[in-house]
Amino acid sequence: MSESANSEHEAPAGSRLSLTERVQSLRLLDRPQRGLGLGFVPWILCVVLAASTGYFAWKANDQAQANDAVGNEGDDAKQPNAAQTQPKQSTRNPGSTPVSGDLVTQSKGYIVPVRQILVSPQVGGRVIELNFKEGDHVNKDFILAKIEDKEFREDYNRTLAMANAAKHRWQELWKYREDEIRQAQADLDDTKTQRDQALQEWKRSQALRSANALAAKEYEEAESAYKSMDFRFKRLEFTLNLLRKGPRDERIAAAKAEMDQANAEMEKAKWKLDQCIVKAPITGTILSKKAEEGNQVNPAAFSNGLAASLCELADLADMEVDLAIAERDISKIFKGQVCKVKAEAFEERSYEGFVSRIMPMADRGKGAVPVRVKIMIPQEEAGMYLRPEMGAVVVFYNKKHQ
């Protein structure tokens, strides 16, 4: 019994050792039997994703640094620091033409004349003569057209006659006034003499009447003659005072005003008659023709079928580029900034220019500010290469036009 009990007590210990050995042997046997499997795939995908993310981040950072370097050239020129005192390495190709100042930005726009004039007659009428066509170069005061002037000429002749009549009425009141005063003075002196003579006769009649040597009728006649001459003297004296100064001055002033009014009407009619000849306001090129010979033109008619103008005229030596600069770049633009202009039709030709105007109001729809760049066009090349509404590319430099 004791031997069997000992054997049963020792059996579990032997079994535990054999179980451990079996587990270890199983682990060693399992490893070579699992093979490759699919457990490593997620780790490989993570490594590939991390590598690609790092590569694209590196490229984006490098591109951002390059853009910042170009965009800050203008700001660095406005705010110099110690780094700018060092000489800069040129980034241009060896064969390119060097341009003073750093490139700030560039933009595309359209060429427009600085002044594009819509030539219209000042009066309406029928065109009886037309002396231009599209593309003609005309000088200032060149006669472009003539308007039928019969109505305007008759109006001028009528107002001229009215002005002459008013002038003669005015002159009638003051031109011979001194002569009239002298005439009134002479009449007054003559009447005074006659009155003095009648007074003497009346006094003698009184003496004779007192001595009963004069009939009553003769006495009355002498008294009446004296009093009549005295009244006449007073009337002529009053008339002379009126001529010298009195209500006649107002009549002269009224006649003068009527004459001025008539002269104004005459000048207006003369101006309308002169406007029947339409002249070029500036030296330039005819861009378009709006009317033909025989057409009725009226500068105030825009909706009744009549022509309102004759032509469009512009000086093609005085041109500029109309640009829309994005709001993010407008801080780099300043008035007088040096530019290079190239028309898209003639890329081999470039022209000097400068910023002439920065408009005070932005374009909300475009998110941009309108800018005008004046083009320095030689007079002999006016209209040869650069034409209105052509596309052009403008390069802005960080330099002010002298």
Task: Show the tokens assigned to 48.
Answer: 């590939």
User: Which among 399, 389, 286, 397 has a CA at the least distance from the CA of 343?
Assistant: 389
State how far the Cα of 296 lies from the Cα of 273, in Å rounded to an integer.
Answer: 17
Residue 52 lies in a domain: no
Q: Assess whether 307 and 331 both reside in one domain.
A: no
Which H/E stretch holds residue 4? helix 2-34
pLDDT at site 74: 40
Question: Which range (4-13, 50-59, 303-312) has the least confidence?
Answer: 4-13
Residue 54 lies in a domain: no
Q: Assess whether 191 and 254 both reside in one domain.
A: yes
| CATH number reported for the structural domain that contains residue 388 in this entry | 2.40.30.170
Q: Assess whether 267 and 170 both reside in one domain.
A: yes
pLDDT at site 370: 96
Indicate whether 75 pLDDT > 50.
no
**pLDDT of 203-261, one tens digit each?**
888 888 888 877 888 888 888 988 898 999 998 888 888 777 765 778 888 999 999 99
Residue 84 banded pLDDT, cuts 50, 70, 90:
very low
pTM attached to this predicted model: 0.56
**pLDDT of 138-151, one tens digit each?**
999 999 999 999 99
| CATH number reported for the structural domain that contains residue 287 in this entry | 2.40.50.100
**pLDDT of 90-102, one tens digit each?**
334 333 343 456 8
Range of the domain at 175: 156-272
Residue 13 lies in a domain: no
b/e for 56-79, b at 16 or more Cβ within 10 A? eeeeeeeeeeeeeeeeebbebbee
Question: Which range (117-126, 244-253, 285-294, 315-324) has the least confidence?
Answer: 244-253
State how far the Cα of 358 lies from the Cα of 370, in Å rounded to an integer.
Answer: 6
Q: Assess whether 167 and 234 both reside in one domain.
A: yes
One-character DSSP codes across 25-66: HHHHHHHHHH-S-STTHHHHHHHHHHHHHHHHHHHHHHHHHH
Beta-carbon-side half-sphere exposure of residue 365 (alpha carbons within 13 Å): 0
One-character DSSP codes across 168-229: HHHHHHHTTHHHHHHHHHHHHHHHHHHHHHHHHHHHHHHHHHHTT-S-HHHHHHHHHHHHHH
Mean pLDDT of 14-19: 50
Q: Assess whether 292 and 331 both reside in one domain.
A: no
Residue where a domain terminates, one of 219, 245, 272? 272
pLDDT at site 379: 87
Q: Is 294 left (phi over 0), alpha (psi -120 to 50) or beta?
A: left
What is the 3-state composition of the chain as percent helix, strand, coil, each rounded to the nearest 5?
A: 50, 25, 30
Which amino acid type is present at position 252? I
Mean pLDDT of 32-44: 55
Q: Identify the residue with better confidence: 159 or 36.
A: 159
State how far the Cα of 286 lies from the Cα of 313, in Å rounded to an integer.
Answer: 5
Measured in degrees and rounded to the nearest 5, phi and psi for residue 123 equal -130, 155
Q: Identify the residue with better confidence: 278 or 172.
A: 278
Q: Assess whether 236 and 330 both reside in one domain.
A: no
State the chain's mean pLDDT as an integer: 80
Task: Show the tokens assigned to 93.
Answer: 């190709």
Residue 175 banded pLDDT, cuts 50, 70, 90:
confident
pLDDT at site 302: 55
| Number of domains the chain contains | 3
**Cα end-to-end span (Å), the chain:** 127
Indicate whether 58 pLDDT > 90.
no
Question: Which range (9-18, 82-91, 239-248, 278-287) has the least confidence?
Answer: 82-91
